[in-house]
């Protein structure tokens, strides 16, 4: 190829680049985003596991935390909290979208499971549903004061979603 051929190809390439500069800019930005590090050094299974651990909590821990926080209310004194559950925490697990007919003619769905390589298998949680509370009992030394009772009722209601009629504040020793 001669120098003129290279020049003509270069000229056509420059014209094409100018004509489609916005398309090229979008493609370049997309490639940069694909190559950008995600910030996570673990795999997907580790992310699912850490999310499941953050969802895992007990009612006893919540009662203890409420007791600590409510004891900071002016005039409440030492506080003890008991929560009654209507339904406990639940998890909705990922299901395989392909259904098969079982021997009895009913559809069967399989639960999606992650294999960790060393024989460990974990289910994939799609949604975590928090427990629903039935009622709350708060016993505190300042429970006889109407202002303290109101403050504690509002706090427990805000944190648990219970109405004031489901929260009982009693004066303790």
Identify the bridge partners of residue 157 per DSSP, sorted by sequence position: none
- 93-112 mean pLDDT: 63
- Interval 65-76: pLDDT, tens: 999 999 999 999
pTM of whole model > 0.85?
no
pLDDT at 118: 65
Q: Is the pLDDT of residue 18 over 90?
A: no
| CA nearest to 113, candidates 99, 100, 130, 96 | 96
- Interval 47-59: pLDDT, tens: 444 444 444 457 8
């Amino acid at each position: 190829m001669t120098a003129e051929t290279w020049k003509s190809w270069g000229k056509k390439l420059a014209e094409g680049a100018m004509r489609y500069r916005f398309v090229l800019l979008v493609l370049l930005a997309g490639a940069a985003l694909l190559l950008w590090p995600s910030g996570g050094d673990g795999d997907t299974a580790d992310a699912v596991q850490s999310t499941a651990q953050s969802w895992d909590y007990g009612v006893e821990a919540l009662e203890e935390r409420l007791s600590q926080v409510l004891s900071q209310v002016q005039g409440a004194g030492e506080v003890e909290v008991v929560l009654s559950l209507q339904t406990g925490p639940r998890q909705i697990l990922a299901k395989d979208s392909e259904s098969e007919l079982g021997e009895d003619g009913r559809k069967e769905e399989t639960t999606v499971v992650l294999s960790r390589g060393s024989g460990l298998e974990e289910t994939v949680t799609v949604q975590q549903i928090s427990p629903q509370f039935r009622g709350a009992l708060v016993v505190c030394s300042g429970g006889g004061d109407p202002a303290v009772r109101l403050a504690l009722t509002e706090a427990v209601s805000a944190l648990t979603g219970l109405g004031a009629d489901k929260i009982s504040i009693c004066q303790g020793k």
